Structure 1
C-alpha cells in the first residue's frame, strides 16, 4: 500500500529530482510536474506530467486531471530572470513566482484532499543578498523587511491553508549541491565543465573566485529530500520554518584541490576569472569534448544553465575584502527530530561522479579505461 500520494512541482530541478527519489524509496505514489522529465534512476517510479507552471490554465487543468488527488505537495519550482542575481530584486520575478505557486496550490487545496504542503525558501529570507545578517541566522527572527517572492508565496500558503485546512512547512536550505545540470543554482556542473575545458585548453584549473576566504555552508540535495519526506508526516514540522545545511562550514579555496582530484585534473594556484564571461567563449571546445568523450549531445549552456552566474557569486569573484558572514543555525530542525548530516567534500565528489556516470561530464581520471 502507498504511504501517500505526493505531487512534486518543479520536478526536473535539483531539489525536485532528489525529492522524487526520496519519496519513491519510502513507498509514496509520486506525481511529477515540470516542463522536462526529471532525471532519476530507471528504478524510481513516478508519473511525469509535462506542464509549464507559468501557464495558469494548463496547470489548473493538469491538477484537475489527477486521480486520485495528491494528499501532499512539495513545491520546488522557481522562475528566474536571465540576469540571475539582478532578478532577485525584480518585482516581475516576484509576481511570477507567486502566481506559479497559486496555479498549483489553489486548485489542489480546493480539491479537498490536500493534507500538507512544503515550500522552499533560502538564506535570502534573512536578507543575506542585501545586508549583513545575524550570526547565526535563526528561524525565530522576525521577517526581514525587504521585497522577496518568499514572502508573497508564504502569505499565499498561509491564506490557503487557513481556508482549506491543510498543514504546511517551509524549508530554508542554504546552497543546494547535487548532480543536476542546466539549472540556475548548482555548482558541480560548472566545476566539472571548467575542469574539462581546462584539460582541453591548458587553462589552469585554479580557484576562479576572489582573493579572500569567506566561510560557506552548503546542503546536499539528498539531505533536503530527506527533510521533505520527514516534514510531510511529522507533527513537529507543522507550521514551522527550518534552516537546512550539511552541518558544517567550508572554504572554497580549501575544497578546490579535492575537486581537482575528483575530476582528474591538476590543481593550479587561485586565478580570479569570471566564469560567466569566460566559459561561454569555449562553447566550441566543449563540442569537441562531447564528441571525443562520447557525452550526451548537450551544449555548454545546456550543462551550465545559469549556474555559472551563481558560481561567480558564491565563489566571490571580484571580492577583495572579506564580506560579512552569512551562516545559519540548524539547531531547530535537529531538535524537532531531523538530524541528518553530510560531509561537504563527499557531497561535491558524489555529485561530480554522478554527472560523469550520466555522461554529462567527461571521465578525466582514467577510471573508465
Structure 2
C-alpha cells in the first residue's frame, strides 16, 4: 500500500490531539493543522502546519503541503465566548462553514490521491440542544429541522463528494472527553482545576450539578481508534455513525469514582456555577501552580470555554423544578459495520485526570 498521509484539522483540540497520537503510532504520516501545536508526547512524529482556517490566503498558500494527503480528519471548530448562545447564531454557523471551505477547497484540488474524509457533528444533529430527542437517537432519522453548521458543512462536503473518488464518514459522538486544554468543550481540565482548588482549600470534591440527566460519554482515544478503522474500512464509506463508550452514566452517580481517581472525598449539596467558582478562585490556582511546579498556565488559558460547557452538562442553569432530559444515542450501526471497541466511563475519567497530572497540568492526587 502506498504511504498513508492523514491531515488532521483542529489538531490541538480534544479529538485532534488523540488522533495525532493514534495515527502516528500506527505508522501514518501525520500533518497537524492548528494554530497551536498539539500537546502530544515528545516522541510523536508529525508535521505541524500553524494555519488559521479563517485566513483563506494562508490556506491556499499551504496547498503545496497537501499534495500527498490521502485522508482527512476534520475536527476544527469555532465557538463563541460563553459557548451556548453561539449555537443559535447564524454568524457562528457561517464561520464554521468558511473554515472548512478555506481548507478543503485547496486541499481537494491538490490532493489527487485523496481517499477518505472524516468530519464531526454531535447530538445537536438530533436537536438535543433545542428539544427532547428520541431515545435512542438513530442515524437513519430525518435531518432535524433546525439551523446548524453541521448541515452547512455536510452539504458542502457532499457536493464536493459527488463524482469524486474519495469517501466521506460523518461522526456523531456523545460528550467527548480527552486531554486537550484551552478548548471549547473538554471538561476534564475543568474538573481537574476545580478539584485542585478544593483540595488546596481543604474541602471535599463537592458535586456542582443537579441530579438526573442520563447520558453517554465518549473517550477521545476511542474516537481516534474509530477514525483509524474508518480510514480503510469499506463499511465506513459514505456513512454516518453515532459513537459512545458503550455504557451510560449520570454525573451524580459517577462523581464518587471521579473523586476516588483524584484521591478526594465526594460530597453533594446545592448546584453552583463552576464558571463563577473558578473565576473567584483564580488566585488560589495561580498560587498552587507556582508552589507545586505545574505548567505555568493561567486558569482562563487552561479552561478555554469548557467551564461554560461544564455548567451546561451539570444542569446548573436549568430550572430547579425541571426534569433533566436523558440524551442517549444508538451505536448499533457502528458495531454492525465492524467497529466495536468500548471503555468503561469511570475508567476513562480516571485515565484522563491521571494523564493531566503526569503532564503537570494539574497536581498529582
TM-score by length of 1: 0.95
Kindly indicate whether the alpha-carbon contact (under 8 Å) linking 2:208 and 2:268 is maintained by their aligned counterparts in 1.
Answer: no
Return the offset for 1:219: 0.3
Instruction: Name the SS of the counterpart of 1:243 in structure 2.
Output: strand
Give me the whole-angstrom Cα distance separating, in 2, the residues matched to 1:24 and 1:274. 39
Query: Which residue of 2 is the match for residue 168 of structure 1?
Result: 168
Query: Which residue of 2 is the match for residue 65 of structure 1?
Result: 64
Give me the whole-angstrom Cα distance separating, in 2, the residues matched to 1:136 and 1:102. 32
Q: How does 1:301-320 map to 2 (within 5 A)?
A: 301-319=300-318, 320=320
Return the offset for 1:269: 2.1
Kindly indicate whether the alpha-carbon contact (under 8 Å) linking 2:197 and 2:281 is maintained by their aligned counterparts in 1.
Answer: yes
Kindly indicate whether the alpha-carbon contact (under 8 Å) linking 2:286 and 2:298 is maintained by their aligned counterparts in 1.
Answer: yes
Return the offset for 1:69: 2.3
Return the offset for 1:322: 1.6
Query: Which residue of 2 is the match for residue 290 of structure 1?
Result: 289
Residues 9-47 of structure 1 show CA distances to partners (whole Å, capped at 9, x for unaligned) of 000001001111111122111000000100111221110
Residues 137-176 of structure 1 show CA distances to partners (whole Å, capped at 9, x for unaligned) of 0000010000000000000000111154321110111111
Give me the whole-angstrom Cα distance separating, in 2, the residues matched to 1:317 and 1:51. 36
Q: Which runs of 5+ in 1 are unaligned?
A: none
Residues 66-91 of structure 1 show CA distances to partners (whole Å, capped at 9, x for unaligned) of 16420111000000000200111110
Query: Which residue of 2 is the match for residue 358 of structure 1?
Result: 359
TM-score by length of 2: 0.96
Give me the whole-angstrom Cα distance separating, in 2, the residues matched to 1:67 and 1:287. 42
Query: Which residue of 2 is the match for residue 217 of structure 1?
Result: 216
Give me the whole-angstrom Cα distance separating, in 2, the residues matched to 1:187 and 1:315. 11
Query: Which residue of 1 is the match for residue 30 of structure 2?
Result: 30
RMSD: 1.3
Give me the whole-angstrom Cα distance separating, in 1, the residues matched to 2:360 and 2:150. 35
Residues 318-341 of structure 1 show CA distances to partners (whole Å, capped at 9, x for unaligned) of 342322221000000000000000
Query: Which residue of 1 is the match for residue 81 of structure 2?
Result: 82
Give me the whole-angstrom Cα distance separating, in 2, the residues matched to 1:250 and 1:258. 11
Return the offset for 1:283: 0.9
Residues 1:340 and 2:350 are matched in the alignment: no
Aligned pair count reads 362
Return the offset for 1:271: 3.4
Give me the whole-angstrom Cα distance separating, in 1, the residues matched to 2:152 and 2:25. 32
Give me the whole-angstrom Cα distance separating, in 2, the residues matched to 1:148 and 1:269. 36
Give me the whole-angstrom Cα distance separating, in 2, the residues matched to 1:209 and 1:333. 32
Quick check: 339-348 or 193-202, which moved more? Answer: 193-202
Kindly indicate whether the alpha-carbon contact (under 8 Å) linking 1:53 and 1:59 is maintained by their aligned counterparts in 2.
Answer: yes
Q: How does 1:1-150 map to 2 (within 5 A)?
A: 3-62=3-62, 64-66=63-65, 68-111=67-110, 112-150=112-150
Give me the whole-angstrom Cα distance separating, in 1, the residues matched to 2:250 and 2:350. 15
